[in-house]
């Protein structure tokens, strides 16, 4: 991040725009949304700027100031339309130590103008450090769709009522109150135009001195998806932003955790293979205990919590404690790996079923009969199978599958260091070792109903 995003209080600050055409008018419209004092410096103004000057909304200077006159400015925009003059004015502003934005010349900018979603006092700014303004506008359009037009008025109402809430509610109860305001009945009423009813609901809750929330907390078992933060669901993001405490697995991407509330407690409970510092019973206990204290708990798991996530054990612990439970599904690694391979998990007429099977064995467990699942028309997605690649190969060969049967491997899907490997069943163990691939990984093995006329060995292909 080369620039640091920050919202500045603009009251009683002086801002100047050098230029009198459409580009200057665009910057003028933006700054007029703030409380800054705005001066436009240019011999001639276009009709829009001239009208603003005539109405007293801006100060018009018909000359271009010198460096000494710039020293009182907090910010200036240069929009003359002449590259040479822009560069000269930039040098003057730089000498006066003024933050400067030169329109359409990012290499001369100390300050960049973001795309803005304005729901005053709620303001969302999207910046690309001057590299891709079209992309910033696309993101702005999507956020505009997400935030209802009147959201700023609800935020302003909450701001007016914060002192009353602080006087009557304890800190945790206040947090519960505002969570309810922006996720529950008040926001829904406000969204539909019943703003007076929304205000009444909030005032009644404050007057009662009790936030509309159960006395015990809740637990959400949330799937984080297989890797990057853009693969978690919107509901998963909402639960992270509501959480007081997050118990997360070792393989959860740190970018996903950045979606959580800044002050949420984060506890790593994932076990490195072979380590026993966080056995499942202890994870169950700390989740339940936190919820009994009235906290909103998220148990954040990689992929989908229902796929090899020991979900049933956690559900049982939560239900036995009488606590409220929500399960938020996520994208499982097999789905993400198939997408990365640009193929389907199934294929009409050839592969009409897919089996998710674990390749991770506990000490003392008998090896699964992987080969019995690989019937014609079936695909196997073997999770965490790298460590038992030899056993998987031997099991399938013993059941009559050819050594030339193709195997696709996707390791660390969605993470930095993601690796793709295409090999054969006979070469699986050696090629994994040669490529340096370890878990987490998905092994795809298919047995189509109509196999190719001739199976030939597939050369090693590795992409990382």
Q: Are 308 and 273 in contact (CB under 8 A)?
A: no
Active site residue 369: no
Question: DSSP string covering 376-387, please?
Answer: TTEEEEEET-GG
Residues 31 and 8: beta-carbon distance below 8 Å: no
**Which of 118, 271, 352, 394 is the catalytic position?**
271
Per-residue CA distances from 28 to 66, 97, 435 (Å): 21, 22, 58
Alpha-carbon gap, residue 403 to 393, rounded angstroms: 8
271 among known catalytic residues? yes
Task: Tokens for 81, please give them.
Answer: 């339309």
CA distances from 129 to 3, 125, 151, 402 (A): 7, 12, 28, 55
- Alpha-carbon distance values, 174 to 29, 152, 210, 276 (Å): 37, 20, 9, 38
The answer to whether 136 and 127 are in contact (CB under 8 A) is yes
Among 86, 244, 249, 304, the active-site one is 249
In the numeric block, which tokens belong to residue 8?
């500045």
Q: Is the dihedral of CA 381, 387, 389, 392 positive or negative?
A: negative
Q: So which residues are the catalytic ones?
A: 249, 271
């Amino acid at each position: 991040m080369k620039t640091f995003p920050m919202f500045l209080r603009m009251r009683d600050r002086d801002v100047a725009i050098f230029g009198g055409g459409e580009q200057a008018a665009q910057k003028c419209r933006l700054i007029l949304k703030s409380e800054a004092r705005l001066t436009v410096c240019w011999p001639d103004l276009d009709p829009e700027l001239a009208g603003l000057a005539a109405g007293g909304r801006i100060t018009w200077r018909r000359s271009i100031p010198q460096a000494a006159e710039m020293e009182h400015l907090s910010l200036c925009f240069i929009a003359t339309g002449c590259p040479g003059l822009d560069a000269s004015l930039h040098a003057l502003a730089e000498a006066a130590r003024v933050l400067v934005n030169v329109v359409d010349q990012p290499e001369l900018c100390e300050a960049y103008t973001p795309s803005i979603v304005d729901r005053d006092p709620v303001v969302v700014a999207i910046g690309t450090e001057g590299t891709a303004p079209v992309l910033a506008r696309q993101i702005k359009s999507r956020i505009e769709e997400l935030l209802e037009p009147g959201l700023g008025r609800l935020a302003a109402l909450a701001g007016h009522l914060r002192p009353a809430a602080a006087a009557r509610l304890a800190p945790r109860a206040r947090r519960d109150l505002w969570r309810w305001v922006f996720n529950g009945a008040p926001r829904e009423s406000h969204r539909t135009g019943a703003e007076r009813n929304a205000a009444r609901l909030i005032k009644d809750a404050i007057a009662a001195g009790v936030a509309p929330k159960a006395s015990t907390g809740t637990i959400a078992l949330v799937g984080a998806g297989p890797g990057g933060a853009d693969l978690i669901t919107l509901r998963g993001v909402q639960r992270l932003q509501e959480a007081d405490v997050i118990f997360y697995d070792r393989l959860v991407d740190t970018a996903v955790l950045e979606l959580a509330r800044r002050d949420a407690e984060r506890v790593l409970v994932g076990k490195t293979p072979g380590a026993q510092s966080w056995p499942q019973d202890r994870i169950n206990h700390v989740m339940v205990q936190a919820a009994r204290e009235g906290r909103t708990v998220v148990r954040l798991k990689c992929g989908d919590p229902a796929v090899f996530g020991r979900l049933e054990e956690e559900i049982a612990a939560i239900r036995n404690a009488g606590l409220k439970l929500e399960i938020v599904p996520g994208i499982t690694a097999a789905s993400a790996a198939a997408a990365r391979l640009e193929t389907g998990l199934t294929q009409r007429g050839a592969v009409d079923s897919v089996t998710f099977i674990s390749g991770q064995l506990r000490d003392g467990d008998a090896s699964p009969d992987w080969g019995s699942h690989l019937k014609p028309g079936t695909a196997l997605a073997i999770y965490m199978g790298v460590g038992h690649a030899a056993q998987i190969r031997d099991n399938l060969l013993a059941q009559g599958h050819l050594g030339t049967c193709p195997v696709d491997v996707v390791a660390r899907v969605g993470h930095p260091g993601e690796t793709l490997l295409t090999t054969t069943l006979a070469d699986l163990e050696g090629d994994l070792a040669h490529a340096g691939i370890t878990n987490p990984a998905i092994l795809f093995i298919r047995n189509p109903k109509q196999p190719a006329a001739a199976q030939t060995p597939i050369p090693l292909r590795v992409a990382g």
